[in-house]
Amino acid sequence: MKVEGIGNQVFSEFETGKGKKVEKGFKEIFEEFLSEVNSNLLEASEAEKLFAQGKISNIEEVIYKVEKAEVSLRLLVELRNKVIESYQEIMRMQV
């Protein structure tokens, strides 16, 4: 039984609405995720500020934005930990 690697196929091709294939690598996907996490954190901070000023009366909305930001930040930290762990594992390999 021959086993072949998947290479970069996981991140390499995404279909757009027009049927065009777009190349995306880990770097581009990570940068998009990083900007999304930053956006979530800024939204949560703004929601907290508006709630403290009394401009938002719906506390569920504030809690939702804060929890969304917290979960995305935790995911980012875990992703960073896995990247560092993988790098350290590669550095321990003997050539």
Task: Kindly report, residue by residue over 26-53, the tens digit of the pLDDT.
Answer: 889 989 999 999 999 999 999 999 999 9
* Model pLDDT, residue 31: 93
- The amino acid sitting at 43 is E
Cα 82-84-87 angle, rounded to 5 deg = 110
Cα 73-78-84 angle, rounded to 5 deg = 125
- Count CB neighbours of 54 within 10 A: 7
Mean pLDDT of the chain: 85
Specify the residue for token string 């992703």: 79
6 vs 68: which has the higher pLDDT: 68
* Three-state secondary structure call for residue 6: coil
* Model pLDDT, residue 12: 47
Q: Look up the pTM and report it.
A: 0.67
